[in-house]
């Protein structure tokens, strides 16, 4: 084997401390197996790279050792030079003379000795290097987006704008997520539906609409494969209405004799068995709830909706069945959103038992013109409340519940203040809070407006247990100090928690959740739109509490990461420096799968052996060290290579 | 640690002058190796006794490597990982910490002092800590003297 050693002087950076001539002598004295030892003043310069390329072409070494700077700086550079010279780029090993020897060693003699040991290790290691090739994988450019709230909508639209085919799966009958149910949004009291409607309109009817398939009443039921090639099964529940021909006139709903509490208005009013989710919900097609329609509940032969449909009775399809839709996609964007922490866990606050204690979502519907009261703020008795208590931090900043601050509740609580101020100018408003937090460059206005409002009083509490809703001749709230204040209506602002669907999806995708049930991001600061599973991206509140802007921005941001990794017409390049299982030696104990941080190790049940998915493996080598049978090999970092280097530096 | 300090104070220092221990340092690419590079960029001087073997992640370090290092003549071994929570591979550093805890007990049974095998965390920004850890490990291993299984 012919190994050439190239020493880079790095100007005087290395050569001043590590004399190349003395290093060469030391290596020769120790019998190091090198075919030649040559120096260059600046190997990474254009001239230096040309020199090296020429050398490699002419001398045709089997292996190369570059005694230069940190591989973190120039390993890529020199690998490219090797490739240019027609050599396999992995047949090279760098020795970090500059950062880890020349710059940190006072005594030149010791520096030379340390350098000789390091080069010796590299020589022994590189002799065992193998030519490795990057492999390539065909990838589907299509994308699945799960959840049609602000984050999912923005993601779907961004992808469609880039020419990608998107399947947008939404479990409810309408798209838009939670904010389409709010009439006014913080910080500027913009109209929620008006803000989202252009995005939804674009997806439903715009130039790129044909690229986006929207599946409502649908949930992901199965996922197989990995980045580039996911095979997804989607369970689609029947709407019982033909969405293509329906014109959204609502005649069917008007004719329907059956009713049920409307879940979109927090059960505060009723809807018909066939009806819209709420006025203005998109797509503007009613859906039939079989839990209330007498044809399904009592086997009746009612056809009132069919008879009422001006487009023809065939538009209502009672026979429609659940179906499984299969799609092949290269990547998945999760935007399953969040919900409110369940307030019924605080019996002292009366949620669920007192009709005039509402959570923030219910209150949003109470102030919406499309809501149960047409936007009039009324108590359950149909009276305008003379006093309203808004309780912040319900279940937040509380180790027994959710220790984090959701960051949006104070802002919408101040919005409620503003709306109450206008609609009920006589009403007294009490804010109960543990901490007031309204981050952002615009949010302070609503906060200031609430703080300056003469009708509002602020009371700090330490523990939620100090507060109590008392119903005794008019609803009251006991404050932390024991004082009772009138609170004919109580609005609770609970912590934002992940949608329960996240858990199901996490199990389907084998994706980790954090301690609170949000999807765990690849890195919480620098890579929050990528999950820990390659090809699965995160957007919006399924990753952590955020506001509409945060969700939409993350939706677009996730697409940036996705589009740069899953490039249409380009294969996915797979790093060869990963693990591989020798099936002959594998005993099938699956220790490797348990220690793998990336769920990259599967199991071949037929063979009874583990196998590494090269798309998911990132080459950390944890499984290699864990395998009791030594059946896993870490390419480019094999046991033999590491041990050879170890023995070389100690020789 | 106490004993080591005492040993250094009581004449161990004199022995350390003459005895230069040979130590192998296993460093993960993303944090501790980068921390070592940062020490270099800041030109922080430290003893030249530690030869570095780079791995992608400390999770790759098979306890056998440590045993082989001692067998091949090392007087000490150093394993430096990313701080908990910072691992580029999520939790390889925690595996390494677990393995180290078991390994030092095994080493002690073999008559190899636990101070000869140090595990610590150095981030990419902790060049100073890196230089300090190197100095500490060199003086503590020097105070222990050559590894007897090698002599």
B4 touching A (Cβ < 8 Å): no
- Residue A565 has a pLDDT of 94
Name every chain A residue with its beta carbon within 8 A of the beta carbon of B45: 104-106
Give the tens place of pLDDT for each residue, A578-594: 999 999 999 999 999 99
The 10 Å Cβ neighbour count of residue A335 is 32
The 10 Å Cβ neighbour count of residue B98 is 12
Token digits of residue A88: 């396999």
- Residue B86 has a pLDDT of 85
- Residue B2 has a pLDDT of 40
Closest to A624 (Cβ–Cβ): which among B52, B60, B131?
B60
Is B129 or A473 the better-scoring residue by pLDDT? B129
Substitution target in A68, A110, A620, A642 with the highest count of B β-carbons within 10 Å is A620
- As a whole number of angstroms, the distance between CA A413 and CA A391 comes to 8
Per-residue pLDDT for A453 more than 90?
yes
Name every chain B residue with its beta carbon within 8 A of the beta carbon of A624: 60, 62
Token digits of residue A93: 């090993």
Nearest residue on chain A to B40, alpha-carbon basis? A99
Position A512 confidence tier, pLDDT thresholds 50, 70, 90: confident
* Cis amide leading into A187 (omega within 30): yes
Q: What number is the average pLDDT over the span B107-120?
A: 96
Give the tens place of pLDDT for each residue, A126-185: 999 999 999 998 999 999 999 999 999 999 999 999 999 999 999 999 999 999 989 899
How close A494 gets to chain B, by Cα (Å)? 29
Phi first, then psi: give them for residue B128, nearest 5 degrees: -65, -40
Distance, first Cα to last Cα, chain B: 24
How close A399 gets to chain B, by Cα (Å)? 21
- Residue A612 has a pLDDT of 95
Residues near A281 by beta carbon (within 8 Å), at least 6 away in sequence: A173, A174, A176, A180, A264
How close B88 gets to chain A, by Cα (Å)? 9
Distance, first Cα to last Cα, chain A: 20
Q: Give the residue extent of every domain in chain B.
A: 2-8+21-143
Yes or no: say if B54 and B27 are a contact pair by the CB < 8 Å rule. Answer: yes
Per-residue pLDDT for A636 more than 80?
yes
Residue showing tokens 């010279």: A85
Characterize the bridge pairing of strands B23-28 and B76-81.
parallel
- As a whole number of angstroms, the distance between CA A377 and CA A372 comes to 10
In angstroms, the Cα distances linking A437 to A201, A420, A503 are 34, 20, 29
Q: Mean of the per-residue pLDDT values for chain A?
A: 95
- As a whole number of angstroms, the distance between CA A456 and CA A389 comes to 10
Token digits of residue A178: 């939670």
- As a whole number of angstroms, the distance between CA A472 and CA A477 comes to 10
Residues of A571-589 as b/e, b for ≥16 C-beta within 10 angstroms? ebebebbbbbbeeeebeee
Closest to B34 (Cβ–Cβ): which among A72, A105, A642?
A72
- As a whole number of angstroms, the distance between CA B61 and CA B84 comes to 17
Q: What number is the average pLDDT over the span A282-308?
A: 96
Substitution target in A105, A622, A633 with the highest count of B β-carbons within 10 Å is A622
B62 touching A (Cβ < 8 Å): yes
Closest CA to A466 of A371, A349, A296: A349
β-sheet bridge partners, residue A135:
A574
Instruction: State percent of chain A over pLDDT 90.
Output: 92
Q: Do B88 and A620 touch (CB under 8 A)?
A: yes
Phi first, then psi: give them for residue B71, nearest 5 degrees: -65, -35
Closest to B74 (Cβ–Cβ): which among A102, A645, A650?
A650
- As a whole number of angstroms, the distance between CA A477 and CA A468 comes to 6
- Residue A326 has a pLDDT of 94
Q: Do B57 and A111 touch (CB under 8 A)?
A: no
- As a whole number of angstroms, the distance between CA A219 and CA A236 comes to 7
Position B151 confidence tier, pLDDT thresholds 50, 70, 90: low
Q: Do A114 and B51 touch (CB under 8 A)?
A: yes
Closest to A100 (Cβ–Cβ): which among B40, B69, B90?
B40
Closest CA to A39 of A70, A80, A10: A10
Residue showing tokens 């004449």: B11
- As a whole number of angstroms, the distance between CA A99 and CA A107 comes to 15
Give the tens place of pLDDT for each residue, A173-185: 999 999 998 989 9
- Residue B1 has a pLDDT of 37
Name every chain B residue with its beta carbon within 8 A of the beta carbon of A622: 57, 59-60, 89, 92, 95
Closest CA to A574 of A229, A208, A162: A229
Closest CA to A331 of A105, A509, A595: A509
Give the tens place of pLDDT for each residue, A371-415: 999 999 999 999 999 999 999 999 999 999 999 999 999 999 999
Substitution target in B20, B32, B56, B128 with the highest count of A β-carbons within 10 Å is B56
**Chain A to chain B Cβ contacts (< 8 Å):** 122
In angstroms, the Cα distances linking B114 to A477, B39, B59, B133 are 62, 26, 20, 16
Virtual torsion, Cα A140, A142, A146, A147, nearest 10 deg: 170
A100 touching B (Cβ < 8 Å): yes
B39 touching A (Cβ < 8 Å): yes
The 10 Å Cβ neighbour count of residue A481 is 8
Substitution target in A108, A638, A642 with the highest count of B β-carbons within 10 Å is A642
DSSP letter assigned to residue A27 = H
A111 touching B (Cβ < 8 Å): yes
In angstroms, the Cα distances linking B37 to A435, B47, B131 are 44, 15, 10
Characterize the bridge pairing of strands A63-68 and A92-96.
parallel
- Residue A424 has a pLDDT of 97
- As a whole number of angstroms, the distance between CA A455 and CA A420 comes to 10
B43 touching A (Cβ < 8 Å): yes
- Residue B16 has a pLDDT of 45
Token digits of residue A377: 């703020």
Position B8 confidence tier, pLDDT thresholds 50, 70, 90: very low
Name every chain B residue with its beta carbon within 8 A of the beta carbon of A100: 36-37, 40, 52
A56 touching B (Cβ < 8 Å): no
Name every chain A residue with its beta carbon within 8 A of the beta carbon of B59: 595, 597, 620-622, 625
Position B5 confidence tier, pLDDT thresholds 50, 70, 90: very low
How close B117 gets to chain A, by Cα (Å)? 15
Q: Do B56 and A637 touch (CB under 8 A)?
A: yes
Closest to A622 (Cβ–Cβ): which among B24, B69, B95?
B95
Which chain A residues in 610-649 lie under 8 Å from chain B, judged by CB atoms? 618-622, 624-626, 634, 637, 639, 642-643, 645-647, 649
B37 touching A (Cβ < 8 Å): yes
Name every chain B residue with its beta carbon within 8 A of the beta carbon of A118: 51-52
A110 touching B (Cβ < 8 Å): yes
Domain B2-8+21-143 in CATH 3.40.50? The answer is yes
Closest to A70 (Cβ–Cβ): which among B37, B45, B68?
B37
- As a whole number of angstroms, the distance between CA A418 and CA A412 comes to 10
Yes or no: say if A387 and A427 are a contact pair by the CB < 8 Å rule. Answer: yes
> What is the ipTM score, two decimals?
0.90
- Residue A597 has a pLDDT of 87
The 10 Å Cβ neighbour count of residue A108 is 14
A96 touching B (Cβ < 8 Å): yes
Closest CA to A8 of A71, A84, A57, A91: A71
Position A616 confidence tier, pLDDT thresholds 50, 70, 90: confident
Q: Do B24 and A622 touch (CB under 8 A)?
A: no
- As a whole number of angstroms, the distance between CA A16 and CA A14 comes to 6
Token digits of residue A568: 């249409």
* Cis amide leading into A283 (omega within 30): yes
Q: Do B92 and A622 touch (CB under 8 A)?
A: yes
Decide: helix, strand or coil at residue A278: coil
Instruction: Give the side-chain half-sphere CA count within 13 A for A163.
Output: 5
Q: What is the pTM of this model?
A: 0.79
Q: What number is the average pLDDT over the span A218-228?
A: 92
In angstroms, the Cα distances linking B131 to A102, A429, B48, B116, B121 are 14, 60, 11, 17, 13
What long-range pairs does B10-13 form, CB within 8 A, spacing at least 24?
B12/B142, B12/B143, B13/B143
Helix and strand element counts for chain B (H, E)? 6, 4
Burial grade of A54 (CB within 10 A; 0-12, 13-18, 19 or more) = exposed
Name every chain A residue with its beta carbon within 8 A of the beta carbon of B48: 101, 105, 107, 110-111, 113-114
Q: Mean of the per-residue pLDDT values for chain B?
A: 89
Substitution target in B17, B53, B75, B147 with the highest count of A β-carbons within 10 Å is B53
Q: What number is the average pLDDT over the span A230-239?
A: 96
Q: Do B59 and A595 touch (CB under 8 A)?
A: yes
- Residue B17 has a pLDDT of 57
Yes or no: say if B62 and A641 are a contact pair by the CB < 8 Å rule. Answer: no
- Residue B11 has a pLDDT of 45
How close B49 gets to chain A, by Cα (Å)? 7
Per-residue pLDDT for B150 more than 60?
no
Yes or no: say if A16 and A112 are a contact pair by the CB < 8 Å rule. Answer: no
B99 touching A (Cβ < 8 Å): yes
Q: Do B131 and A105 touch (CB under 8 A)?
A: no
Q: Do A72 and B68 touch (CB under 8 A)?
A: no
Token digits of residue B19: 């005895």
Instruction: State percent of chain B over pLDDT 90.
Output: 81
């Amino acid at each position: 084997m012919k190994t050439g050693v190239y020493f880079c002087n790095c100007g005087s950076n290395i050569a001043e401390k590590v004399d190349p001539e003395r290093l060469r002598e030391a290596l020769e004295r120790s019998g190091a197996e090198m075919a030649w030892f040559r120096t260059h003043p600046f190997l990474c310069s254009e001239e230096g790279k040309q020199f090296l390329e020429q050398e490699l072409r002419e001398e045709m070494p089997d292996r190369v050792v570059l005694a230069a700077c940190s591989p973190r700086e120039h390993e890529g550079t020199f690998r490219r030079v090797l490739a240019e010279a027609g050599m396999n780029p992995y047949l090279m090993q760098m020795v970090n003379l500059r950062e880890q020897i020349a710059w940190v060693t006072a005594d030149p003699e010791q520096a030379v000795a340390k350098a000789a040991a390091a080069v010796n290790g590299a020589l022994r290691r590189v002799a065992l290097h193998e030519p490795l090739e990057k492999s390539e994988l065909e990838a589907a450019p299509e994308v699945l987006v799960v959840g049609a709230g602000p984050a999912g909508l923005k993601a779907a639209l961004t992808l469609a704008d880039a020419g990608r085919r998107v399947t947008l799966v939404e479990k409810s009958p309408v798209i838009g997520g939670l904010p389409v149910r709010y009439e006014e949004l913080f910080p500027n009291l913009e109209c929620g539906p008006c803000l989202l409607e252009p995005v939804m309109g674009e997806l439903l009817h715009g130039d790129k609409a044909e690229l986006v398939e929207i599946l409502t009443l649908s949930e992901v039921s199965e996922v197989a494969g990995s980045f580039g090639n996911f095979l997804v099964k989607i369970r689609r529940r029947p709407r019982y209405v033909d969405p293509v021909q329906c014109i959204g006139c609502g005649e069917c709903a008007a004719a329907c004799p059956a009713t049920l509490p409307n879940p979109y208005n927090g059960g505060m009013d009723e809807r018909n068995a066939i009806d819209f989710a709420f006025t203005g919900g998109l797509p503007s097609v009613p859906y039939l709830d079989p839990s209330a329609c007498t044809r399904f509940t009592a086997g009746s032969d009612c056809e009132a909706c069919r008879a009422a449909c001006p487009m023809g009775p065939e538009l209502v399809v009672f026979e429609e069945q659940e179906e499984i839709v299969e799609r092949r996609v290269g990547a998945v964007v999760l935007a399953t959103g969040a919900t409110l922490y369940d307030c019924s866990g605080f019996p002292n606050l009366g949620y669920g038992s007192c009709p005039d204690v509402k959570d923030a979502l219910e209150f949003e519907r109470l102030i919406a013109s499309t809501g149960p009261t047409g936007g009039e703020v009324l108590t359950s008795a149909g009276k305008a409340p003379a006093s309203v208590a808004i309780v912040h931090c319900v279940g937040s900043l509380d180790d027994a519940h959710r220790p984090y601050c959701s960051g949006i509740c104070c802002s919408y609580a101040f919005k409620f203040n503003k709306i109450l101020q206008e609609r009920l100018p006589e009403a007294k408003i009490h804010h109960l809070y543990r901490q007031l937090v309204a981050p952002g460059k615009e949010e302070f206005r609503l906060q200031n407006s609430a703080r300056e409002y003469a009708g509002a009083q602020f009371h700090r509490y330490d523990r939620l247990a100090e507060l109590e809703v008392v119903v005794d001749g008019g609803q009251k709230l006991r404050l932390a100090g024991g004082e009772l204040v009138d609170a004919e209506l109580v609005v609770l602002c609970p912590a934002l928690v992940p949608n329960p669907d996240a858990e199901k999806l996490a199990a389907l995708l084998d994706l980790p959740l954090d301690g609170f049930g949000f999807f765990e991001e690849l890195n919480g600061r620098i890579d929050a739109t990528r999950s820990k599973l390659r090809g699965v991206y995160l957007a919006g509140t399924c990753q952590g509490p955020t506001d509409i802007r945060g969700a939409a921005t993350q939706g677009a941001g996730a697409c940036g990461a996705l589009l740069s990794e899953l490039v249409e017409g380009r294969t996915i390049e797979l790093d060869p420096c990963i693990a591989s299982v020798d099936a002959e030696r594998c005993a099938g104990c699956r220790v490797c799968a348990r220690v793998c941080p990336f769920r990259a190790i599967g199991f071949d049940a037929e063979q009874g052996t583990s196998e590494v998915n090269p798309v998911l493996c990132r080459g950390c080598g944890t499984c290699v060290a864990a395998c009791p049978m030594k059946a896993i090999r870490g390419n480019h970092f094999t046991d033999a290579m590491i041990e050879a280097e170890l023995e070389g530096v100690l020789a | 640690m106490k004993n080591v300090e005492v040993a250094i104070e009581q004449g161990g220092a004199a022995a350390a002058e003459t005895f230069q221990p040979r130590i192998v340092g296993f460093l993960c690419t993303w944090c501790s190796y980068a921390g070592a590079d940062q020490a270099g960029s800041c030109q922080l001087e430290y003893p030249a006794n530690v030869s570095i073997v780079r791995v992608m992640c400390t999770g790759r370090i098979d306890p056998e490597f440590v045993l082989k290092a001692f067998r091949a003549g090392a007087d000490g071994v150093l394993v430096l990982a990313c701080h908990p929570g910072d691992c580029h591979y999520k939790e390889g550093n925690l595996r390494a910490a677990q393995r180290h805890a078991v390994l030092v007990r095994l080493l002690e049974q073999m008559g190899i002092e636990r101070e000869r095998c140090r595990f610590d965390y150095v981030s990419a920004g902790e060049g100073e800590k890196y230089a300090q850890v190197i100095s500490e490990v060199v003086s503590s291993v020097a105070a222990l003297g050559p590894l007897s299984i090698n002599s």
